[in-house]
Structure 1
Protein backbone atom coordinates (compact mmCIF):
# COMPACT_ATOMS: atom_id res chain seq x y z
CA UNK A 1 0.00 0.00 0.00
CA UNK A 2 2.98 2.37 0.33
CA UNK A 3 2.74 3.33 -3.34
CA UNK A 4 -0.89 4.42 -3.00
CA UNK A 5 -0.35 6.25 0.28
CA UNK A 6 2.45 8.28 -1.35
CA UNK A 7 0.15 9.03 -4.30
CA UNK A 8 -2.51 10.38 -1.94
CA UNK A 9 0.01 12.47 0.05
CA UNK A 10 1.03 14.29 -3.12
CA UNK A 11 -2.49 15.73 -3.38
CA UNK A 12 -2.77 16.98 0.21
CA UNK A 13 -1.61 20.29 1.66
CA UNK A 14 0.69 18.40 4.02
CA UNK A 15 -0.82 19.91 7.19
CA UNK A 16 -2.54 16.72 8.40
CA UNK A 17 -1.70 13.90 5.95
CA UNK A 18 -2.90 11.13 8.27
CA UNK A 19 -6.39 12.62 8.47
CA UNK A 20 -6.48 13.41 4.74
CA UNK A 21 -5.42 9.87 3.77
CA UNK A 22 -7.93 8.32 6.17
CA UNK A 23 -10.77 10.37 4.70
CA UNK A 24 -9.70 9.51 1.15
CA UNK A 25 -9.48 5.79 1.87
CA UNK A 26 -12.81 5.94 3.70
CA UNK A 27 -14.49 7.47 0.65
CA UNK A 28 -12.96 4.80 -1.59
CA UNK A 29 -14.18 2.09 0.77
CA UNK A 30 -17.73 3.49 0.63
CA UNK A 31 -17.53 3.67 -3.16
CA UNK A 32 -16.39 0.04 -3.34
CA UNK A 33 -19.33 -0.94 -1.11
CA UNK A 34 -21.79 0.88 -3.36
CA UNK A 35 -20.58 -0.41 -6.71
CA UNK A 36 -20.22 -3.91 -5.26
CA UNK A 37 -23.98 -4.08 -4.72
CA UNK A 38 -24.01 -2.87 -1.13
CA UNK A 39 -26.91 -1.12 0.54
CA UNK A 40 -27.13 2.01 2.65
CA UNK A 41 -29.71 4.18 4.40
CA UNK A 42 -30.75 7.27 2.44
CA UNK A 43 -31.89 10.59 3.95
CA UNK A 44 -35.49 9.31 4.06
CA UNK A 45 -34.50 6.29 6.15
CA UNK A 46 -34.93 3.82 3.30
CA UNK A 47 -32.50 1.06 2.32
CA UNK A 48 -31.28 1.77 -1.21
CA UNK A 49 -28.67 0.50 -3.65
CA UNK A 50 -27.07 1.46 -6.94
CA UNK A 51 -29.60 1.88 -9.77
CA UNK A 52 -29.71 -0.24 -12.92
CA UNK A 53 -28.53 2.59 -15.20
CA UNK A 54 -25.51 3.24 -12.98
CA UNK A 55 -24.62 -0.47 -12.90
CA UNK A 56 -24.86 -0.54 -16.70
CA UNK A 57 -22.60 2.51 -17.05
CA UNK A 58 -19.99 1.03 -14.70
CA UNK A 59 -19.96 -2.31 -16.54
CA UNK A 60 -19.59 -0.48 -19.87
CA UNK A 61 -16.67 1.65 -18.62
CA UNK A 62 -15.20 -0.76 -16.10
CA UNK A 63 -11.51 -0.46 -16.89
CA UNK A 64 -11.37 3.35 -17.04
CA UNK A 65 -13.71 3.66 -14.06
CA UNK A 66 -11.43 1.72 -11.75
CA UNK A 67 -8.27 3.43 -12.99
CA UNK A 68 -9.64 6.95 -12.50
CA UNK A 69 -11.79 6.57 -9.40
CA UNK A 70 -10.64 3.46 -7.58
CA UNK A 71 -6.93 3.89 -7.02
CA UNK A 72 -5.15 3.17 -10.26
CA UNK A 73 -3.83 -0.34 -10.84
CA UNK A 74 -4.93 -1.91 -7.56
CA UNK A 75 -6.65 -5.24 -7.94
CA UNK A 76 -10.12 -5.38 -6.40
CA UNK A 77 -10.08 -7.93 -3.60
CA UNK A 78 -12.98 -10.22 -2.74
CA UNK A 79 -13.88 -8.24 0.38
CA UNK A 80 -17.37 -9.76 0.51
CA UNK A 81 -15.98 -13.33 0.47
CA UNK A 82 -18.10 -14.19 -2.55
CA UNK A 83 -15.45 -16.50 -3.96
CA UNK A 84 -14.51 -18.33 -0.79
CA UNK A 85 -13.96 -22.06 -1.01
CA UNK A 86 -17.04 -24.17 -0.32
CA UNK A 87 -16.36 -26.20 2.79
CA UNK A 88 -18.53 -27.69 5.53
CA UNK A 89 -20.97 -25.15 6.91
CA UNK A 90 -20.67 -22.62 4.04
CA UNK A 91 -24.04 -21.49 2.65
CA UNK A 92 -24.47 -20.33 -0.94
CA UNK A 93 -26.69 -20.11 -3.99
CA UNK A 94 -25.90 -22.87 -6.47
CA UNK A 95 -26.87 -23.78 -10.02
CA UNK A 96 -26.81 -27.16 -11.72
CA UNK A 97 -23.90 -27.89 -14.04
CA UNK A 98 -26.01 -30.18 -16.20
CA UNK A 99 -29.49 -28.70 -16.56
CA UNK A 100 -31.98 -29.50 -19.32
CA UNK A 101 -33.64 -26.11 -18.75
CA UNK A 102 -32.67 -23.13 -20.88
CA UNK A 103 -32.88 -21.02 -17.71
CA UNK A 104 -30.56 -22.80 -15.31
CA UNK A 105 -32.43 -22.99 -11.98
CA UNK A 106 -30.86 -21.87 -8.71
CA UNK A 107 -31.03 -23.46 -5.29
CA UNK A 108 -30.10 -22.35 -1.78
CA UNK A 109 -27.83 -24.83 -0.06
CA UNK A 110 -25.53 -25.56 2.85
CA UNK A 111 -22.39 -27.66 2.53
CA UNK A 112 -21.65 -30.72 4.65
CA UNK A 113 -18.96 -33.39 4.49
CA UNK A 114 -20.21 -36.92 3.83
CA UNK A 115 -17.51 -39.58 3.79
CA UNK A 116 -14.99 -37.21 2.27
CA UNK A 117 -17.36 -35.83 -0.37
CA UNK A 118 -18.90 -32.37 -0.08
CA UNK A 119 -22.70 -32.56 -0.26
CA UNK A 120 -25.09 -29.62 -0.58
CA UNK A 121 -28.31 -29.84 1.42
CA UNK A 122 -31.09 -27.83 -0.25
CA UNK A 123 -33.33 -25.28 1.44
CA UNK A 124 -36.71 -23.98 0.30
CA UNK A 125 -37.40 -20.25 0.57
CA UNK A 126 -40.36 -19.92 2.90
CA UNK A 127 -41.17 -16.32 3.80
CA UNK A 128 -39.64 -12.96 4.59
CA UNK A 129 -39.39 -10.45 7.40
CA UNK A 130 -39.51 -7.08 5.65
CA UNK A 131 -38.58 -5.07 8.75
CA UNK A 132 -35.50 -7.21 9.45
CA UNK A 133 -34.59 -7.73 5.77
CA UNK A 134 -34.28 -11.48 6.27
CA UNK A 135 -35.57 -14.55 4.44
CA UNK A 136 -36.60 -17.74 6.23
CA UNK A 137 -35.69 -21.05 4.62
CA UNK A 138 -36.40 -24.64 5.57
CA UNK A 139 -34.45 -27.78 4.88
CA UNK A 140 -35.97 -30.08 2.26
CA UNK A 141 -35.11 -33.65 1.33
CA UNK A 142 -32.92 -32.81 -1.70
CA UNK A 143 -29.12 -33.05 -1.60
CA UNK A 144 -26.54 -32.91 -4.39
CA UNK A 145 -22.80 -33.52 -4.62
CA UNK A 146 -20.91 -30.24 -4.92
CA UNK A 147 -19.24 -31.65 -8.03
CA UNK A 148 -22.61 -31.40 -9.83
CA UNK A 149 -23.15 -27.74 -8.94
CA UNK A 150 -21.75 -24.30 -9.72
CA UNK A 151 -21.38 -21.79 -6.90
CA UNK A 152 -23.17 -18.56 -7.83
CA UNK A 153 -22.77 -16.51 -4.65
CA UNK A 154 -21.98 -17.12 -0.99
CA UNK A 155 -24.72 -16.05 1.44
CA UNK A 156 -25.06 -15.49 5.18
CA UNK A 157 -27.48 -18.23 6.37
CA UNK A 158 -26.10 -19.31 9.73
CA UNK A 159 -28.81 -18.31 12.19
CA UNK A 160 -31.65 -20.66 13.13
CA UNK A 161 -34.87 -19.22 14.58
CA UNK A 162 -37.05 -20.73 17.32
CA UNK A 163 -39.09 -22.69 14.75
CA UNK A 164 -36.06 -24.30 13.14
CA UNK A 165 -35.90 -22.11 10.02
CA UNK A 166 -32.53 -20.98 8.67
CA UNK A 167 -32.34 -17.20 8.25
CA UNK A 168 -30.75 -15.51 5.20
CA UNK A 169 -29.39 -12.04 5.91
CA UNK A 170 -30.12 -10.49 2.51
CA UNK A 171 -28.21 -7.28 3.29
CA UNK A 172 -24.88 -9.09 3.64
CA UNK A 173 -22.50 -10.09 0.80
CA UNK A 174 -24.73 -8.37 -1.80
CA UNK A 175 -27.37 -11.11 -1.40
CA UNK A 176 -30.29 -8.69 -1.79
CA UNK A 177 -29.05 -7.55 -5.18
CA UNK A 178 -28.31 -11.08 -6.36
CA UNK A 179 -31.60 -12.63 -5.23
CA UNK A 180 -33.74 -9.75 -6.54
CA UNK A 181 -32.02 -9.91 -9.94
CA UNK A 182 -32.34 -13.69 -10.26
CA UNK A 183 -35.46 -14.55 -8.27
CA UNK A 184 -37.26 -16.19 -11.19
CA UNK A 185 -34.44 -18.73 -11.49
CA UNK A 186 -34.83 -20.11 -7.98
CA UNK A 187 -36.39 -23.55 -7.67
CA UNK A 188 -38.41 -22.67 -4.59
CA UNK A 189 -39.66 -19.21 -3.71
CA UNK A 190 -42.88 -17.73 -2.38
CA UNK A 191 -45.21 -15.20 -4.00
CA UNK A 192 -44.63 -13.01 -0.93
CA UNK A 193 -40.91 -12.92 -1.66
CA UNK A 194 -41.52 -12.10 -5.32
CA UNK A 195 -43.83 -9.22 -4.38
CA UNK A 196 -41.28 -7.89 -1.91
CA UNK A 197 -38.44 -7.69 -4.43
CA UNK A 198 -40.72 -6.35 -7.17
CA UNK A 199 -41.89 -3.61 -4.82
CA UNK A 200 -38.33 -2.79 -3.83
Structure 2
Protein backbone atom coordinates (compact mmCIF):
# COMPACT_ATOMS: atom_id res chain seq x y z
CA UNK A 1 0.00 0.00 0.00
CA UNK A 2 1.48 3.33 -1.08
CA UNK A 3 1.38 6.02 1.59
CA UNK A 4 -0.13 9.41 0.77
CA UNK A 5 1.65 12.43 2.22
CA UNK A 6 0.51 16.04 1.82
CA UNK A 7 2.85 18.90 2.62
CA UNK A 8 2.75 22.68 2.63
CA UNK A 9 5.78 24.87 1.93
CA UNK A 10 4.86 28.56 1.79
CA UNK A 11 6.15 31.09 -0.69
CA UNK A 12 8.44 33.85 0.56
CA UNK A 13 5.50 36.27 0.69
CA UNK A 14 3.36 33.84 2.68
CA UNK A 15 6.22 33.17 5.07
CA UNK A 16 6.70 36.89 5.72
CA UNK A 17 2.97 37.35 6.34
CA UNK A 18 2.95 34.43 8.76
CA UNK A 19 5.87 35.81 10.75
CA UNK A 20 4.81 39.46 10.64
CA UNK A 21 2.70 39.32 13.81
CA UNK A 22 5.53 37.94 15.91
CA UNK A 23 7.99 40.45 14.41
CA UNK A 24 5.67 43.35 15.28
CA UNK A 25 5.22 42.01 18.81
CA UNK A 26 8.99 41.68 19.25
CA UNK A 27 9.54 45.22 17.93
CA UNK A 28 6.94 46.59 20.33
CA UNK A 29 8.60 44.83 23.28
CA UNK A 30 12.03 46.22 22.32
CA UNK A 31 10.66 49.74 21.88
CA UNK A 32 8.95 49.53 25.27
CA UNK A 33 12.22 48.55 26.94
CA UNK A 34 14.02 51.50 25.35
CA UNK A 35 11.26 53.89 26.44
CA UNK A 36 11.36 52.53 29.99
CA UNK A 37 15.14 53.00 30.17
CA UNK A 38 14.74 56.61 29.03
CA UNK A 39 12.14 57.23 31.77
CA UNK A 40 14.44 55.75 34.41
CA UNK A 41 17.31 58.01 33.31
CA UNK A 42 15.27 61.21 32.97
CA UNK A 43 12.90 61.04 35.97
CA UNK A 44 14.23 61.19 39.53
CA UNK A 45 11.31 59.35 41.07
CA UNK A 46 11.61 56.07 42.93
CA UNK A 47 8.05 55.04 42.14
CA UNK A 48 8.46 55.81 38.44
CA UNK A 49 11.75 53.98 38.28
CA UNK A 50 10.32 50.95 40.07
CA UNK A 51 7.38 50.86 37.67
CA UNK A 52 9.69 51.09 34.69
CA UNK A 53 11.90 48.28 36.02
CA UNK A 54 8.85 46.07 36.37
CA UNK A 55 7.76 47.11 32.88
CA UNK A 56 11.16 46.21 31.47
CA UNK A 57 10.92 42.78 33.08
CA UNK A 58 7.50 42.21 31.54
CA UNK A 59 8.64 43.35 28.09
CA UNK A 60 11.72 41.15 28.23
CA UNK A 61 9.54 38.19 29.14
CA UNK A 62 7.10 38.91 26.30
CA UNK A 63 9.95 39.50 23.87
CA UNK A 64 11.49 36.17 24.83
CA UNK A 65 8.16 34.46 24.09
CA UNK A 66 7.92 36.28 20.75
CA UNK A 67 11.39 35.05 19.76
CA UNK A 68 10.48 31.49 20.73
CA UNK A 69 7.22 31.59 18.74
CA UNK A 70 9.02 33.20 15.80
CA UNK A 71 11.64 30.46 15.68
CA UNK A 72 9.05 27.70 16.11
CA UNK A 73 6.76 29.03 13.39
CA UNK A 74 9.67 29.46 11.00
CA UNK A 75 10.71 25.87 11.68
CA UNK A 76 7.16 24.64 11.07
CA UNK A 77 6.63 26.52 7.83
CA UNK A 78 9.97 25.55 6.29
CA UNK A 79 10.25 21.96 7.55
CA UNK A 80 8.21 20.20 4.88
CA UNK A 81 6.76 17.85 7.51
CA UNK A 82 3.51 16.36 6.13
CA UNK A 83 0.31 17.94 7.38
CA UNK A 84 -1.49 14.71 6.44
CA UNK A 85 -0.15 11.19 6.12
CA UNK A 86 -2.21 8.13 5.22
CA UNK A 87 -0.63 4.71 5.67
CA UNK A 88 -1.70 1.12 6.14
CA UNK A 89 -1.79 1.67 9.92
CA UNK A 90 -3.82 4.83 10.11
CA UNK A 91 -3.79 8.58 9.65
CA UNK A 92 -1.56 11.32 11.04
CA UNK A 93 -2.79 14.92 10.96
CA UNK A 94 -0.72 17.99 11.83
CA UNK A 95 -2.05 21.50 12.28
CA UNK A 96 -0.79 23.71 9.47
CA UNK A 97 -0.56 26.90 11.50
CA UNK A 98 0.47 26.19 15.05
CA UNK A 99 2.90 23.46 16.12
CA UNK A 100 4.92 20.43 15.10
CA UNK A 101 2.96 17.93 17.16
CA UNK A 102 0.18 16.17 15.32
CA UNK A 103 -2.56 13.68 16.05
CA UNK A 104 -2.78 10.02 15.06
CA UNK A 105 -5.72 7.69 14.59
CA UNK A 106 -5.66 4.01 13.67
CA UNK A 107 -8.01 2.80 10.93
CA UNK A 108 -9.55 0.34 13.37
CA UNK A 109 -10.59 3.34 15.51
CA UNK A 110 -11.89 5.47 12.61
CA UNK A 111 -15.68 5.44 12.23
CA UNK A 112 -15.98 7.69 9.16
CA UNK A 113 -14.35 10.41 7.10
CA UNK A 114 -16.11 13.73 6.50
CA UNK A 115 -15.14 15.96 3.56
CA UNK A 116 -16.77 19.38 3.60
CA UNK A 117 -16.42 23.06 2.89
CA UNK A 118 -15.01 25.25 5.65
CA UNK A 119 -18.12 26.70 7.35
CA UNK A 120 -16.50 29.95 8.51
CA UNK A 121 -14.90 32.62 6.36
CA UNK A 122 -11.15 32.12 6.87
CA UNK A 123 -9.21 35.25 7.77
CA UNK A 124 -5.86 33.51 7.80
CA UNK A 125 -2.92 34.49 5.62
CA UNK A 126 -3.44 31.18 3.79
CA UNK A 127 -6.88 30.62 2.16
CA UNK A 128 -8.59 27.39 3.24
CA UNK A 129 -11.49 25.94 1.23
CA UNK A 130 -12.24 22.40 2.40
CA UNK A 131 -11.38 20.11 5.24
CA UNK A 132 -11.15 16.34 5.71
CA UNK A 133 -12.00 15.08 9.18
CA UNK A 134 -11.28 11.56 10.35
CA UNK A 135 -13.97 10.78 12.91
CA UNK A 136 -12.91 8.45 15.75
CA UNK A 137 -15.23 5.86 17.29
CA UNK A 138 -14.47 7.56 20.63
CA UNK A 139 -12.50 10.74 21.51
CA UNK A 140 -9.95 8.83 23.59
CA UNK A 141 -8.87 6.83 20.53
CA UNK A 142 -7.08 9.90 19.13
CA UNK A 143 -3.43 10.24 20.07
CA UNK A 144 -2.75 13.94 20.48
CA UNK A 145 -3.27 16.98 22.68
CA UNK A 146 -5.27 20.11 21.74
CA UNK A 147 -3.33 23.39 21.65
CA UNK A 148 -4.59 26.92 22.23
CA UNK A 149 -2.80 28.08 19.07
CA UNK A 150 -4.81 25.69 16.89
CA UNK A 151 -6.96 27.62 14.42
CA UNK A 152 -9.11 24.65 13.38
CA UNK A 153 -11.77 24.79 16.14
CA UNK A 154 -12.75 28.35 15.21
CA UNK A 155 -12.61 27.67 11.46
CA UNK A 156 -14.60 24.45 11.54
CA UNK A 157 -17.01 25.01 14.44
CA UNK A 158 -15.56 21.99 16.24
CA UNK A 159 -14.24 21.41 19.73
CA UNK A 160 -10.45 21.39 20.15
CA UNK A 161 -10.52 17.61 20.64
CA UNK A 162 -12.66 17.06 17.53
CA UNK A 163 -10.35 19.28 15.48
CA UNK A 164 -7.27 17.16 16.13
CA UNK A 165 -8.03 14.85 13.22
CA UNK A 166 -9.20 17.55 10.78
CA UNK A 167 -6.93 18.33 7.83
CA UNK A 168 -7.26 21.68 6.03
CA UNK A 169 -7.11 21.91 2.24
CA UNK A 170 -5.70 25.11 0.81
CA UNK A 171 -7.06 26.84 -2.28
CA UNK A 172 -6.04 24.97 -5.46
CA UNK A 173 -3.85 22.57 -3.47
CA UNK A 174 -2.75 19.44 -5.33
CA UNK A 175 -2.79 16.79 -4.13
CA UNK A 176 -5.81 17.79 -2.09
CA UNK A 177 -9.08 16.48 -0.72
CA UNK A 178 -9.99 14.78 -4.01
CA UNK A 179 -6.81 12.73 -3.90
CA UNK A 180 -7.43 11.87 -0.25
CA UNK A 181 -10.89 10.55 -1.14
CA UNK A 182 -9.48 8.57 -4.08
CA UNK A 183 -6.81 7.03 -1.83
CA UNK A 184 -9.41 6.06 0.78
CA UNK A 185 -11.70 4.48 -1.81
CA UNK A 186 -8.81 2.46 -3.19
CA UNK A 187 -7.13 1.39 0.04
CA UNK A 188 -9.93 1.64 2.64
CA UNK A 189 -13.09 0.82 0.65
CA UNK A 190 -15.05 -0.25 3.74
CA UNK A 191 -14.58 3.12 5.42
CA UNK A 192 -17.65 5.36 5.31
CA UNK A 193 -17.13 8.63 3.39
CA UNK A 194 -19.47 11.55 3.95
CA UNK A 195 -19.31 14.69 1.84
CA UNK A 196 -21.22 17.96 1.57
CA UNK A 197 -21.57 19.77 -1.74
CA UNK A 198 -18.70 18.12 -3.57
CA UNK A 199 -18.87 15.33 -6.13
CA UNK A 200 -15.59 13.79 -5.09
CA UNK A 201 -16.81 13.45 -1.53
CA UNK A 202 -20.24 11.92 -2.04
CA UNK A 203 -21.21 9.43 0.58
CA UNK A 204 -20.04 5.91 -0.19
CA UNK A 205 -23.43 4.71 0.96
CA UNK A 206 -24.92 5.66 -2.43
Structure with the higher strand share, 1 or 2: 1
TM-score scaled by length of structure 1: 0.29
Structure with the higher helix share, 1 or 2: 2
TM-score scaled by length of structure 2: 0.29
